[in-house]
Amino acid sequence: MSFNFRLKSDKLFFHFITYLKRYASSRVEPFPIPFHTVKPELAPQQYINKTVTYAEDITVENQHEKLFNLLLPLWKTPYDEQLKIKQTMVNQTFEQIGRAILWDRRIDTRVLKHIEFRKGDFCHVESIIPSVFIENYRSKDDLSCGFSVDGQKTIGFYINSKNGKSSRSVCVPPLYLPNMKTKHKIVTKHLNLFIKHHSLAIMENVSENYMKKNQYWRSAIIKTNEKNELMLIIIVHPQTLSKDELNTMKQDLVNYFINGDGRECNITSLYFQPCAHSRCFGDYELLYGDEYLFEIYNGKKFRISVESPLVGNKQAMESVYELVMKHAQIDKDTIVLDIGGSGIGVYSVLSSPLAKRVYSIEPLQSAIADGQYNAKLNNCEDNIQWMYGFDEAQLHRVIQKVGEMNGTDTKIVAIVNPSRFDLSSKATAALRSVGNVQKLIYVSAKVDQHAMYHFYELSAGDKSKKTVLNNAFVLTKVYPVDAFPHTINSEVVIIFDRVN
């Protein structure tokens, strides 16, 4: 007991001495560093007094308004006010991030000097870039089958119960959502008519019911390009259906959407996927139309396949791509690392004509196939090397290999987009360890605790547990783009520079 008391006393004395050292320091800090026992957290913003919607609150009369409140909490707010709210949210988010990083005892002293030299905020947040369109802007919608508030088969979005039991969830068709394209609403209307009158049952969106017998129609994905060409993907649970019975389901879809009343949808591509798991890759069958859609981003043409990720707001994302290219400062002596955000290869294709070499790291084989095709389509395939895989060890090896292959004098710019896949601590360690990565551009629609941890690791000092460290990165500028009107979310482009 005496020993424990002594340990506690020593610990208190150590913290007291540390406090005195900080207090006596002549260093002027841009923020007072809080002396907490835990790191400051990225607290949820309190700008919107949003009423949480539960399945128990839903009626036939209020279901659409409740869905608006759930998915689009700013739908009643004038757009100018929406932008002010989002600007304030981004400002406060990065102020909190700055306070938390400055609190961290591992922060690199060169990062602190850089911040002190600026004598301002931890990083500069630019004015939010408005969306070109505030309605009918979504290029992709994922819909689930379920039961409506009056017990009818339907397809739409789920509203869960208060106690979290999915069995009491309600599915609301999105027939009036302002951000949904008119053509998508027409498809939704016909999907509702189709499944309501089909003899086979729908599958409830309940994880424990994935293997429940006699439930088949699962979900649908709708994609459109700027030309309004439309790809519809129908996902079903095959259960124990025979090949002939599955063929009958496919024929029913063709009969309705291509030859019947669903012709109003004017579908360009109709796909069918049997999937017995929570999520499946591959096994898509083209029932009708073109195999691909094509879209133009920042003057380059891209192929979109059935598995390709598709941006929700094309014009807003073109602003993001433009910002990334502007601040990457790529020239003929620059190596570009496209990490996690390759998708259909947009960053790689846009970078290739400017760069010495581009390395694109992608965890999906189908996305690599799209990227390779799009590179060839834009006559830049010889300047891009595609790398499959996203596990920690492989990504670390690839980043280090790129650094070794191109010498310590070669400037490397890393474009990191972890929106679809989490960036690991080993990835940030690899980016730190390759000294010629002079600039890092981080693009994300979600800045949360996980992202803040990455920022810690990028700015950590010599007290880090990492075995290999080069100079830290400092977060210098943030560019918010409103890619999601009527929601509280923004796409952000975050610029990191290596400190010397």
Q: Give the C-alpha distances (Å, rounded to integers) separating 411 from 357, 393, 414.
A: 11, 23, 10
Q: 453: buried, middle or exposed (CB in 10 Å: 19+, 13-18, 0-12)? A: middle
Is-contact 453 418, C-beta < 8 A?
no
Read off the amino acid at residue 428. Answer: T
**Paired residues of 222 in beta bridges:** 141, 232
Greatest Cα pair distance in the chain: 86
**Are the beta carbons of 491 and 481 closer than 8 angstroms?**
yes
Is 245 assigned a ligand-binding role in the annotation? no
In this structure, the strands spanning 473-481 and 491-498 are antiparallel
CB 415 within 8 A of CB 431: no
Name, in order, each residue with C-beta under 8 angstroms of 325's C-beta and a sequence gap of 6 or more.
298, 350, 351, 354
How many angstroms separate the CA atoms of 299 and 314, rounded? 12
d(CA 398, CA 333): 20
Cα dihedral sign, 393-461-500-493: positive
Determine if residue 362 is labeled as part of a ligand binding site: yes
State the DSSP H helix or E strand holding residue 125, giving kind and residue range, or none if neither: strand 124-125
CB hemisphere CA count around 321 (13 angstroms)? 21
What is the rounded CA–CA span in Å between residue 194 and residue 79?
A: 36
Q: How many CB atoms lie within 10 A of CB 25?
A: 9
Task: At 305, list the tokens.
Answer: 């396949």
Q: Which amino acid is present at 440?
A: L
**Residue ranges at the known binding site for S-adenosyl-L-methionine:** 362, 417
**Residue ranges at the known binding site:** 362, 417
